[in-house]
Chains A and B, each alone.
Chain A
Amino acid sequence: MTLEELKEKMDEAHYVYDETLATVLYVALALGRPLLIEGAAGVGKTEVAKVMAAALDRDLVRLQCYEGLDESKALYEWNYQKQLLAIQISREAGSEAQTRQLFSDEYLLERPLLRSIRSEKPVVLLIDEIDKADEEFEAFLLELLSEMQVTIPEIGTVKARSIPLVVLTSNRARPLSEALRRRCAYLYIDYPSLDKELAILRGKLPHVDDRLCVQVATAVQKLRSSQTILKKPSIAETLDWAAALEALGIRELTPDVLVKTGGFLLKNNEDLAALARQEPDGHCGRCGQ
């Protein structure tokens, strides 16, 4: 696949991208490298994996990371209950019963990582919020990311039947290990520019009045550039806000409306108080026109 073909496929998936994002995705795909995406919460890191799955016509296999995640939840687990029942049956039936091989596929519960590499068709594997998992889990991922294989003690090495496109996302809650970083292509997603945000609004909410979209995008850009706002509004919050304004029948973004509906954008009390303290036209999108 060429870069132009990839862009066409992303266009078909109605995804708003810039040249940098397209090039990075193309490089990761071409090299067969996992893609590590970092950036603030809500800038669209997870969306990249979803869009790539749609654009490449692949299934999306998602592994949500959390503290304490281990290989039994991420890779595989033996179906112990089934194994115990099988042992019980074989005892009761004596030699007549066929004792099945206990450590075979029949007793194996596939988790997302194993499912993604044993799939006949290549998939997109999303390892979401890897920074929330423990360092041990990170180390455990290294074999999968570099060799596209995993080792199960009872079975041996399982090589990938098809190579998945692996996308890892991180909110930078903790620094990731050098070893993991080295195995990945890297992309940092920043908050979008005014034009890109406007394009996203128009693409995702085509029914919203274009004038209101411009006002919303301008207001959000101003809020993000404000020193007093600590938790910057994300793209998802911009979309929620625009949809809420539309649902409320608001056609014009006034300072009063901004303060009253600010809860859709700003999610902590200090930021809302700072917004209320601003001068009347301080963040209102109208003055940006």
Chain B
Amino acid sequence: MNDPQVYLRKLSAFSRQLAREGLAVGPAETADAARVLILVGLEDRERVKTALCTVYAKSREEQLVFGKCFDGFFLSREAMEAQAKARLEERQALERRRREAEELLNLNGKPLDLTEQQRRAYASMPDEARQRLTGFLDKYRQTAERNPKLYGEFIHSVFTRAILEQQMLLEDAGLGGEAADPDIGLMYRDISQFKDTEIPRAVAILQTVARQVNASLSARRRAQAHTGKLDFRRTIRLGLETGGSFHRLRYRRKRGRKKHLVILCDVSGSMMQFSEFALRFIQSLNQASDSSRVFLFSETVVEADPFRLENMDLFRDYVRQSGVYGRGTDLGAALTHLCASRPPVLGQSTTLLILSDSKTIDQNRAVQALLEAQRQAGRVIWLNPIPQRKWQYLRSVQTMAAVCAMAPCATLQELTAALSGRPFGLL
């Protein structure tokens, strides 16, 4: 090494980059990394990568982040040149598209009334999407002469949809991770998009995660189990082992106060896969609640037989037999049924979990019923399988989210976070 300062500066910059990516990197890690570099040398790139990974990454997930950061930060000369060339070409292509957009997006010589975000989105769209959008604009151009206002609104809706479609491509964001670690990839994929062949693996992952959450809830409960009052009987019994000297004290345990769960589960066609996973997960969380009751609903509502739910592999058959499958969704009727049930289903020690995408008939009635359910239950949490980035486009979601706590649960990772973390966690 000619000038160690150069390497140290680069290492420090690399540490900052890793910290920005969410790794817990501090001066101690950077110092260790510097020592490691001196030990292993810089001749073998893979060896340097492994050695630094040992110091910086402290979990499987962090290893994946580290790998990407390292490959992006420490480039070979050829890779750097290729990257610079690619960036230049990309910039030129973007500029060309912007110019094309200026020419194309006009009506009778006047530029269309589009926001800067819409213009930028048009320029950065893939060719296929751009052609489709231009085709739309041309097809309905005659309308512009008859009713310019209507045409303007139409253009805005077409652009909104095109941008939304681009955003939806992000649903496959987990695929990159899947190549490196299939389990991590599956955690970040949309549950409703799982293929049949992937479901057994997803179930196995869910069971592992449930075991982890249970263990951590159990440990947390044990840690809080101490009341501070002496348990004389156990202390005396223990003291007998040492001739009646009470040097090891035992305290009374706190009584666990688990919650009662009422799960209202939408089993309309589009919700089936999500409901199956969510229910399976909630049922596995035996540390989260004392008791649970499950209600399945579409247009009507039925209480699920707990013994039948124990075998989740037969969930779909069971739902079909129950007669609620394949109908429309009426959340208002389901909630009204719950609120009016006698003996009461909801109470102050009850947490009501609603698993639904919020698409329902008679939304006003559903909102009124939700308000009543919230008054009766101690807590209402809505688990919504629609990705959070789409919420802003859906009025029904916005309305329901304004009334009760709503957590996004499109992926297994979000589902785990929603049920075990704050602020929605069951504990």
Contact B197 A227 (CB under 8 A): yes
Interface 0/1 of B215-254, CB less than 8 Å to A:
1100110110000000000000000011101010000000
Contact A20 B50 (CB under 8 A): yes
The answer to whether B292 has its CB under 8 Å from any CB of chain A is no
Residues from chain B with Cβ under 8 Å of A81 in the complex: 242
Contact A174 B47 (CB under 8 A): no
Contact B198 A186 (CB under 8 A): no
Please report which residues of chain B, range 18-39, place their CB below 8 angstroms from some CB of chain A when the two chains form the complex.
24, 28-29, 32, 35-36, 39
Query: B54: which of A28, A134, A172, A228 is its contact (CB, 8 Å)?
Result: A28
Query: B242: which of A80, A181, A187 is its contact (CB, 8 Å)?
Result: A80
Contact B24 A178 (CB under 8 A): yes
Contact A84 B204 (CB under 8 A): no
Query: A31: which of B36, B46, B241 is its contact (CB, 8 Å)?
Result: B36
Measured between alpha carbons, how far is A19 from B60 in the docked complex, in Å? 18
Known: A23-B54, A84-B245, A134-B219. A38 touches B200 (CB 8 A): no
Residues from chain A with Cβ under 8 Å of B51 in the complex: 23-24, 26-27
Measured between alpha carbons, how far is A182 from B204 in the docked complex, in Å? 29
Measured between alpha carbons, how far is A227 from B245 in the docked complex, in Å? 59
With both beta carbons as reference points, the residue of chain A lying nearest to B199 in the complex is identified as A227
Known: A228-B200, A230-B204. A27 touches B54 (CB 8 A): yes
Residues from chain B with Cβ under 8 Å of A186 in the complex: 53-54, 57-59, 62-63
Query: B60: which of A174, A184, A188 is its contact (CB, 8 Å)?
Result: A188
Query: A27: which of B55, B60, B62 is its contact (CB, 8 Å)?
Result: B55
CB distance from A161 to the nearest CB of B (A): 24
The answer to whether A136 has its CB under 8 Å from any CB of chain B is yes
Residues from chain A with Cβ under 8 Å of B62 in the complex: 186
Residues from chain B with Cβ under 8 Å of A27 in the complex: 36, 39-40, 51, 54-55
Q: How many B residues are at the interface, by size bracket?
A: 35 or more
Residues from chain B with Cβ under 8 Å of A84 in the complex: 242-243, 245
The answer to whether A250 has its CB under 8 Å from any CB of chain B is no
Measured between alpha carbons, how far is A172 from B208 in the docked complex, in Å? 9
Contact B222 A134 (CB under 8 A): yes
CB distance from A17 to the nearest CB of B (A): 12
The answer to whether A175 has its CB under 8 Å from any CB of chain B is yes
Please report which residues of chain A, range 120-155, place their CB below 8 angstroms from some CB of chain B when the two chains form the complex.
131, 134-136
Measured between alpha carbons, how far is A184 from B47 in the docked complex, in Å? 19
CB distance from B15 to the nearest CB of A (A): 14
CB distance from A153 to the nearest CB of B (A): 13
Since A175-B212, A181-B59, A186-B53 are in contact, a sample of 19 more A-B pairs with Cβ atoms closer than 8 Å, ordered by chain A residue number, is A19-B47, A23-B50, A24-B54, A26-B40, A27-B51, A30-B35, A38-B59, A80-B242, A80-B247, A131-B215, A135-B216, A135-B223, A173-B215, A175-B216, A181-B58, A182-B29, A182-B58, A185-B54, A186-B58
- Listed from nearest, the 8 A-B pairs whose CB atoms lie closest are A181-B58, A174-B215, A23-B50, A80-B242, A185-B54, A27-B54, A24-B54, A230-B204
Q: 30 A-B pairs, CB-CB below 8 angstroms?
A: A19-B47, A19-B50, A23-B47, A24-B50, A26-B40, A27-B36, A27-B39, A27-B40, A27-B51, A28-B54, A30-B39, A31-B36, A84-B242, A84-B243, A134-B219, A135-B219, A135-B223, A172-B208, A175-B212, A175-B216, A178-B24, A181-B24, A185-B54, A185-B55, A186-B54, A186-B57, A187-B54, A188-B60, A227-B200, A230-B204
